[in-house]
Structure 1
Amino acid sequence: MPEGHTLHRLAAEYRQLFGGEPVRVSSPQGPFAAAARRLDNQALTSTEAHGKHLFLGFAAVGWIHVHLGLYGKVRFGDGPAPAPVGQLRLRIATDDHYADLRGPTTCELISEVEKKAVHQRLGPDPLRPDHTGDAAWQRISRSGTTVAALLMDQKVLSGVGNIYRAEVLFRQGLDPRMPGRSLSRAQWDGIWADLTVLMRDGVRDGWIDTVRPEHMPQAMGRAAREDAHGGEVYVYRRAHQPCLVCGHPVSTETHAGRNLFWCPACQPPG
């Protein structure tokens, strides 16, 4: 599932290509067809993301709410748009550009009130400048659930997926299996600050790099990582390989239904 930086990149690209002008809206697959007819030839007035949720605003009608889920993808292209093929849920187009959405978990037209309700059920997003980590800290500091599980709970913290979860805990030297209530405020502030930097880098670059300069392949004289999911990382998908910092084998286990990766030496219990 795409992590939060991807949705913020999508919001920026929709805004850049279509913002402020009337667009053609269609749903060749059908399920969004009635809403598409209401939006057709209306102006796209705003775009934003909150965690893994994308919002495309049409002031005269409402908001398109998109959650990509596991299989959703957006493809942008130069106009004229080709004839639609396959399961195309939503197409937004002008004479110059088009954007095709396929396979989302959610694609719905909602009101401003309904949009606010989505925001209210989500935790703070490190990529939104109007958010701080305070609300997440209030929940984490009272919880007996592991830090690893809490970071993936979108009601606690929005936009963090398995890669950012594993990598920020490694970078902060924290045992992923410690309960939230054992985390100090200083440790939480370190997590929040680090996520803000890492995820902004992800928005800028379009992939996830979490390795500090001194541990990059050129600095260490090692081979570059080859993985379609992103760039250089410390522990994510590096099970049983030597830690880039201490050389200890990276551990893995299934944790709350997801694969967890950590270095037992760099992230000791307690």
Structure 2
Amino acid sequence: MTPAAFRTPEIGEDTPELRARLHAIWATEPGWKGWFTTVDHKEIGIRYIITAFVLLALGGIEALVIRLQLAGPDLNLLTPEQYNEFFSTHGMTMIFLYASPVLSGFSNYLWPLLLGSRDMAFPRLNAFSYWVYLAAALFLYAGFLTGNGANDGWFNYVPYAERQYNPGLNQDFYALGMVLLGISTTVGAANFIVTAFKMRAPGMSINRMPILIWGTLTASVANLVVVPAVSLAFFLLWLDRQFGTSFFQTSGGGQPLLWQHLFWIFGHPWV
């Protein structure tokens, strides 16, 4: 063998050995193990899209049931409590479980292709973000299917969301599910931001980035700033309900208006 065979490749140099090593690192394993452990951005993007559209269909069914209930006077398709749950779960699904995740799916699939990178900056964090999103959706719908769905609108105003006025498990499911979803959205936003600034192909300056990159990047910056606010609001509400704190209860010196501030710090940029 020639001495060149023992030469260490330069950083960024494309060699068959380097390609084989990278393929071994990033390739999805066959079978069920690979299905659960893949970090391929295309597969994760497709999963986001499919999951979001399944939830869109569920939200559409909920909207249909709501409209059937309202199609005429004195109909009894739903009880008042069931109507509240259908109304609230529909809003929660369309706003939180479909609108943003479906965009994350398309961006996950397209970003590395447009930026000329092998994958997202943090592939494992990318997979983690999807699985937490799926877990949050399953958790929220487990509450709905057991008669413990959100029942205070997707905006979830206190004091009705407090245990004193809403003693069931409905708001506990909603609060914890939204904390989970907030984790998924926040780490996903951080991943997009780092990918845009650190994973561009050589020669792709900031002003040469495609418009799709800019669209998702600006939304990710907003999410990184505002999603923690609504996650905090839901966590404080859960503490009020479970441990008797008084972040929002006037009887203990809390402020119901604090909920609206924290919620709409998130809600207006989200919309």
TM-score range, shorter chain: under 0.3
Higher relative contact order (CA 8 A, sep 6+): 2
TM-score, L = length of structure 1 = 0.24
**Which of the two has greater strand per residue?**
1
Q: Tell me which structure has the larger Cα radius of gyration.
A: 2
